[in-house]
Structure 1
Amino acid sequence: IKDFGAFVEIEEGLNGLLHISEMAWAYVKNPSELVSEGEVLKLRVLEIEPEKKKISLGLKQLLTNPWEDVKKKYPIDSVVEGKITQVTSYGANVELEAGVSGTVHLSEIDWEYVERPSAVFKKYMVLPLKVLKIDEDAHLIFLSRKRTLPNPWEDIDKFYKIDSIVKGKVIRVRDFGAFVKLDKGIEGFVPVSEIDWERIKHPSEKLKKDKEYEFKVIKIDKEKLQLTLSKKRLMPDPWLEIKKKYAVGTLVEGKVVNLTDFGAFVNLEENIDGLVPLSEIS
């Protein structure tokens, strides 16, 4: 018996290999769990390769294949009970029965953002899960924990309105914006363009992780489960004053800060640049 399987004497001078993957429909950690030296087994010949002097044998082929009626036992959208067998960085592997496994992706753990699956799942935990998809070729069932929980987005219109002001805590800051935890298990997103009227290089200049801020709700998409927020729209729009200060026809002075093929950018005051098109330079 080896880690990868067991060698079986078929008759004197003729041996075959029973690979660990052919021992049972369920996951087998070590061949010694199922077979022992000296044991007489009834096996099926799977393949003969004379040139390699190799005979492949199977034990599970003589057992009932649990995947034969898996769609009847685990219909799509049904809620089933599963046991966590492994917690990974991307989710968790689940055993529904011997030989039938499933997986819960990180995005299907909870309606709220989950950074580490281990914060929710523990090995050997038994819990209800919803069947999302069955891949018979890969022998894998895709499952969801969050869809067995109340969906906070169903009543989103009751709690959040366009142009309403909400308070939330920044939980993640990325180059393109910041994610904000709101009440009722809802997460909002602040695009970098909605953080401040001034140009910023990175959202972390204005928004700090774990700090609370007020935001304005500017868009709600129930289908995509997206709630877009703005911080800058709670502040006066400086461009309203700029339009008055730099009316069309006004003569102004500025410093050239960037030259391009299509013209020159001129700084008029802090955070205010103007463009002189190439056709207007001379």
Structure 2
Amino acid sequence: MVETRKSPPREMDIVRPAAARIYDAFLGGGHNFGVERGFAERIEQALPGIGGCYQENRAFLRRTVEFLLARGVRQFLDLGSGIPTIGHLHEVARRRTRDFRVLYVDNEPLTVAHSKPLLADEPRADILQADCREPEAIFRSPEARELLDLRRPVGLLMTSVLHFIPDSDDPLGLVETYQDALVPGSHLVISHVTGTNAPEAVRVLADFYAETSDPLHPRETSWIDKLFGDFEILPPGTTNLADWRPDPGRPTSASDRYRLLYGGVARKSADALIPVQPVSGG
């Protein structure tokens, strides 16, 4: 388990591209600046069709949220959420039910500032400016107390966030800390950049992100599998995002050329909480 610590607040930076606004630019959103749009254009020139990977990540989020809603999950914690536009979690949920709660969390000040007005008319969703490396602060926040009931199952989303956390911050231990806070029936959704299938492409991508305020840390698929810990990985298992319960008739996209995003969905079972009792002597 990771030892949480108080991190200094992230400062506002409009000079360097930020990951949340880069993502928004690739999705065609309007909450980004010229520095992000120019950055996205440069990546697209170096890796033609790479924008499809960002779109595939958003499609994976939609499919996983629909999957969790079908399994009865009604409250969600989305870490490193970015800007909640273009088919984000609360939009997916409210197409299915009126009974949902969503807490978005992001540490980038402008991302949160842009997000607050977008959520002003949605009482079932809010965004918290916080660092996901401080789970205790997140769970104790007024926003979490208002929206989340930790006595009930939670859908924890860590999509495209853990590859921005360096090894020195112990991402494996961090995920375990969140897992420990969740009750049985909770689910964990992870997507992560990997270089296993396309090492040269991911090297180019990482070199670009080294220029940003959010450097990239790609990892091998075998390492990403460890993030799920003792949770039960649900079918079809961990895989390239495009292969996780794909939509019927999904056409081949440019993202299939790179296959840089890997992840899956796992569930916390009651069995994981049952301790082994020592056998007493007769």
Q: How high is the TM-score relative to the length of structure 2?
A: 0.19
TM-score in terms of structure 1 length = 0.19
Larger % of helix: which? Answer: 2
Structure number with the bigger relative contact order (C-alpha 8 A, sep ≥ 6) is 2
Structure whose alpha-carbon radius of gyration is higher: 1
